[in-house]
Amino acid sequence: MDNSISSAALNSSQDACLQDLHKLLGSRFSMSESVREQHGRDESFHAPAPPEAVVFAESSEEVAEIVKICVKYKKPIIPFGTGTSLEGHVAALHGGVCLDVSGMNKVLEVNENDLDCRVQAGVTRKQLNQHLRNSGLFFPIDPGADASLGGMTATRASGTNAVRYGTMRENVLGLTVVTADGRIIRTGTRARKSSAGYDLTRLFVGSEGTLGIITEVQLRLYGVPEAISAAVCAFDSLEGAVNTSITTIQMGIPVARIELLDEVQIDAINHHAGFDYAVKPTLFFEFHGTESWVKEQAEMVKEISSEEGGSDFRWATREQERQKLWEARHNALYAALALRPGSKGWPTDVCVPISRLAECILETRRDIEESGLIVPMVGHVGDGNFHLVFLVDPENEAEELPLFQPLSDRLVERALRMGGTCTGEHGIGYGKIKYMEAEHGDSLELMRQIKKALDPENLMNPGKMIPL
Amino acid sequence: MDNSISSAALNSSQDACLQDLHKLLGSRFSMSESVREQHGRDESFHAPAPPEAVVFAESSEEVAEIVKICVKYKKPIIPFGTGTSLEGHVAALHGGVCLDVSGMNKVLEVNENDLDCRVQAGVTRKQLNQHLRNSGLFFPIDPGADASLGGMTATRASGTNAVRYGTMRENVLGLTVVTADGRIIRTGTRARKSSAGYDLTRLFVGSEGTLGIITEVQLRLYGVPEAISAAVCAFDSLEGAVNTSITTIQMGIPVARIELLDEVQIDAINHHAGFDYAVKPTLFFEFHGTESWVKEQAEMVKEISSEEGGSDFRWATREQERQKLWEARHNALYAALALRPGSKGWPTDVCVPISRLAECILETRRDIEESGLIVPMVGHVGDGNFHLVFLVDPENEAEELPLFQPLSDRLVERALRMGGTCTGEHGIGYGKIKYMEAEHGDSLELMRQIKKALDPENLMNPGKMIPL
């Protein structure tokens, strides 16, 4: 990374705020074009917007100093973890400073007896699990990317394990936050439950940097199960696959993972990761528990799937096989992109009540077929959550976006009509801000009141999530 | 209930607000002394404070009208469900109107396929489970009292099942709320997860009526397990019982209930409910699952408890036996009161990280022994949560409260020192408001900012939870 500063640019900018930040941070302040560009974009197709400068913080205290300087000069602040968000969360729409926390990458404590830990915001999910590898514990939340835990908290991320272990909402116990006026506060406690005061932790989970900067995260951990087994099951129809997952959830079988990949996505994965799965709608399962409890769960699910026209289970019990399987699933986005070389991905997701999932997926599939476009679908179907990836040719955006946009709009309209949400796990950023009114109605006004109360100058990631 | 109005009192009061409310509600407006007294007190020893009037609402729309009238005249509003809270939550400290929602007692919908339901705020937990009795579903959250689901939401209640099923925090999917300016909003969706916007649902869960009035609650439901069995196990030492529960949790065994009763409380229950349990520290367990999975869980826990000096398990597998067992546990407060006839209960609770639970309970037990007072202890020990009941002679409060108060203060100080919270499930009301600063430090200021933003006139249950 090029951290060097173009001093000429800085001096001539006459920007006292940037001068003060430079004085505070020295070589951890950058205005280089490449650094700024890299920090203005995420993994989505949404138009990037580079910040005026990037600062690299190393502690909560330093973040507080940075915020105080920015507030003094009314300069917007955009927090940045790994830049793997999907709705334009990090674009500097109103200029300002990008606050990169990737250097805050220490695991501060692991409390094995309490099944919890405390990490700095820049620690990534894989780094945490690597740190835990000899402890018998793991952290289950797994969005596709190796995102930072601060970013995952800010976007209320989830992933394949959420059906069993919950999302960041359920797994963040407490936070350290730098408020919009530069105070350092701690929310939550290490106790498993509390009735003492407003749930500030949950208010910051999913707030996308619009209320303050998350600098440390207290997380729940789980014991590595005694037994784990994974299986793959192909179906003749999309409906059979979806109904299998619905029945599994309705029966309360505590599957650890239940993932849908449609035939387009399976084909993509076969090519990208060298698998030879039948090119059919497919479920990937994982079961966690004791040896006998895992067997019992798997038997129950096998019975359901065979009634829905599922093939025999193809097992992956050895750790290496399982890892390959889930790596392929986590790389679904990259596999999808390879279906159309040179394309940019526009991934989108919605989430509906499980009883409406089959209807929502089948309507969506029909809508895609009628469009004639190639759009792979994957889903955390145990949660009622599924994703499409629109493959956009960046050389031809102006022509192609108008083809995909109506599909996206109808997808959201369909999910809301069925009692669902415009995003299950990707968040709002600026990519979905136009749907907030339709989803929230009058309660959006409360969100505005909270935003104004905690960030009266609108300096915290302005232009994201809350239409003001 | 005496709903009649003393018209003379009303006319002579010259209070235009009360006049307007009377006009709106007719016979569902009351200023009778008995109704006011009943609505100014909860089940705790905290000094009651009757409201100026009580109104009985029947719909969200009516609640909105009531709020608008009260706001116009700057009259405080105190919501009231069953009056079973424990920290003075319903006392009209600054006068005003008590808004009784017990008439809003309809189960609005049950979505069996989605395992959720929507109820009016006045529906009680037992009423809901009675309604669900033929559906194969149940709602697990069970504070001792048969509280209203609106009140349980407002106090972030939990109970014996929380170790497996979570608290109201995890089980409320969405709310209908009347805001402090009289708008009706809906929060959340019926989807299992969402990343769209601030988590208003969780902000209102546990807000104790200080931000708005909860009028409807969308709740998660669960399938009645195929197999349930309960067991009682006595220990020679309190330490053995506590360590058994700690190890059970640390091993990730998904017990549905794991409840501690110390020997004082067991003695109380023996007398009150006609049991003949050994007068020793005792754990009550319950296991949920398939037949074989329940057996396997029970075997694992039996092994742990026998290593900690536990007696043989005394099983209660027939439904009637189990019901008797848990009814006794739910009536622990009333059994405790019977230890000192004529006394008033001052129940209090704290919650600590599970690794500190043994230390916290043993220090507390020693503190009680040194005081020479009789103080039963019960605990949802799987969550690190335990309760004391101080038995206060109401004729002699002035002398006795100064004996109990230092025990209470030291209990909270101990829990906070161990990384816990001043209340795991009872809430703050005005009984624990003095501990908010010590628990939350600078984050209390954020709570104040939110309170001021959403209730600028401080009319929503003023004097509770947030010290202004």
Q: How does the average pLDDT of chain A come out, rounded?
A: 94
Q: What is the pLDDT of residues B338-393, one digit of tens each?
A: 999 999 899 999 999 999 999 999 999 999 999 999 999 999 999 999 999 999 99
pLDDT at A113: 92
pLDDT range class, residue B316, cuts 50, 70, 90: confident
What integer is the mean pLDDT of A133-139?
96
CB B410 within 8 A of CB B367: yes
Residues 6+ apart with CB under 8 A from A193: B156, B158, B162, B167, B169, B351, B383, B385, B421, B424, B425
From A329-333, A427-431, B189-193, the region with the lowest mean pLDDT: A329-333
Report B:355-414 residues touching A (Cβ under 8 A): 355, 383-385
pLDDT at A10: 61
Distance to chain B for A312, nearest Cα, Å: 24
Nearest CA to B207 out of A446, A453, A195 is that of A195
pTM (2 d.p.): 0.96
Distance to chain A for B276, nearest Cα, Å: 33
Could you tell me if B454 lies within 8 Å of chain A, comparing CB atoms?
Answer: yes
pLDDT at A3: 43
Helices (H), B235-290: 238-250, 263-273
Fold of the domain built from segment(s) A7-100: 3.30.43
Q: What is the pLDDT of residues B440-465, one digit of tens each?
A: 999 999 999 999 999 999 999 999 99
| Both tokens assigned to A134 | 């000899």
Report A:124-183 residues touching B (Cβ under 8 A): 155-158, 162, 167, 169-170, 179, 183
Q: H or E stretch including B217? A: strand B212-220
Residues 6+ apart with CB under 8 A from B341: none
For residues B60 and B104, what is the distance between their CA atoms, to the nearest angstrom? 9
Interchain pair B195, A222: CB under 8 A: no
Distance to chain A for B370, nearest Cα, Å: 27
Residue A234 three-state SS: strand
For the residues of B413-465, what is the DSSP string, one character each? HHHHHTT-BS-SSS--TTTTGGGHHHHHTTHHHHHHHHHHHH-TT--BSTTSS
Does A12 score more than 60 pLDDT?
Answer: no
Measured between beta carbons, the chain A residues lying within 8 angstroms of B428 are 195-197
Of A156, A170, A189, the CB nearest to B195: A156
For residues A234 and B28, what is the distance between their CA atoms, to the nearest angstrom? 61
Distance to chain A for B92, nearest Cα, Å: 19
Interchain pair A251, B187: CB under 8 A: no
Which ranges in chain A are annotated with CATH 3.30.70.2740? Answer: 340-417
Of A167, A185, A415, the CB nearest to B193: A167
- Tell me what percent of the residues of chain A surpass a pLDDT of 70: 97
Give the N- to C-terminal CA distance of chain B in Å, as an integer.
35
pLDDT range class, residue B44, cuts 50, 70, 90: confident
Fold of the domain built from segment(s) A227-333: Alpha-Beta Plaits (3.30.70)
Distance to chain A for B9, nearest Cα, Å: 37
Which ranges in chain B are annotated with CATH 3.30.70.2190? Answer: 227-333
Measured between beta carbons, the chain A residues lying within 8 angstroms of B353 are 111, 114, 116, 190-192
CB B232 within 8 A of CB B282: yes
How far are the Cα atoms of A45, A161, A241, B40 from residue A377, in angstroms, in the given order? 17, 18, 13, 57
For residues B207 and B429, what is the distance between their CA atoms, to the nearest angstrom? 10
Q: What is the pLDDT of residues B317-345, one digit of tens each?
A: 888 999 999 998 989 999 999 999 999 89
Closest A-chain CA to B412: A196
Report B:72-111 residues touching A (Cβ under 8 A): 111
Of B111, B193, B384, the CB nearest to A162: B193
Interchain pair B196, A353: CB under 8 A: no
For residues A259 and A242, what is the distance between their CA atoms, to the nearest angstrom? 10
For residues B90 and B64, what is the distance between their CA atoms, to the nearest angstrom? 19
Q: What is the pLDDT of residues A50-105, one digit of tens each?
A: 999 999 999 999 999 999 999 999 999 999 999 999 999 999 999 999 999 999 99
Nearest CA to B77 out of B467, B465, B458 is that of B458
Does B3 score more than 50 pLDDT?
Answer: no
What are B187's strand-pairing partners?
Answer: B175
CB pairs under 8 A between A and B: 273
For the residues of B59-128, what is the DSSP string, one character each? SHHHHHHHHHHHHHTT--EEEESSS--SSSTT--BTB-EEEE-TT---EEEEEGGGTEEEEETT-BHHHH
CATH 3.30.70.3270 fits B342-417, yes or no: no
φ, ψ of residue A327 in degrees (nearest 5): -65, -40
How far are the Cα atoms of A91, A217, A382, B154, B439 from residue A144, in angstroms, in the given order? 21, 20, 17, 36, 37
Measured between beta carbons, the chain B residues lying within 8 angstroms of A352 are 191
pLDDT range class, residue A316, cuts 50, 70, 90: confident
Distance to chain B for A248, nearest Cα, Å: 11
Half-sphere exposure of B37 (CA within 13 A, CB side): 5
From A152-166, A360-374, B8-22, the region with the lowest mean pLDDT: B8-22
pLDDT at B8: 45
Q: What is the pLDDT of residues B92-138, one digit of tens each?
A: 999 999 999 999 999 999 999 999 999 999 999 999 999 999 999 99
Report B:185-204 residues touching A (Cβ under 8 A): 185-187, 189-200, 202-203
Could you tell me if B320 lies within 8 Å of chain A, comparing CB atoms?
Answer: no
Distance to chain B for A180, nearest Cα, Å: 11
Fold of the domain built from segment(s) A340-417: Alpha-Beta Plaits (3.30.70)
Q: How does the average pLDDT of chain B come out, rounded?
A: 94
Position B298: which residue type?
A
- Tell me what percent of the residues of chain B surpass a pLDDT of 70: 97
Residue A156 three-state SS: coil
pLDDT at A114: 94
pLDDT at A11: 57
Q: What angle do CA A384, A281, A377 make, to 5 degrees?
A: 55
The alpha carbon torsion through A293, A299, A304, A305 (nearest 10 deg) reads 120
Residue A74 three-state SS: coil
Domain boundaries B107-223, CATH class: alpha beta
CB A430 within 8 A of CB A463: yes
Which ranges in chain B are annotated with CATH 3.30.465.10? Answer: 107-223
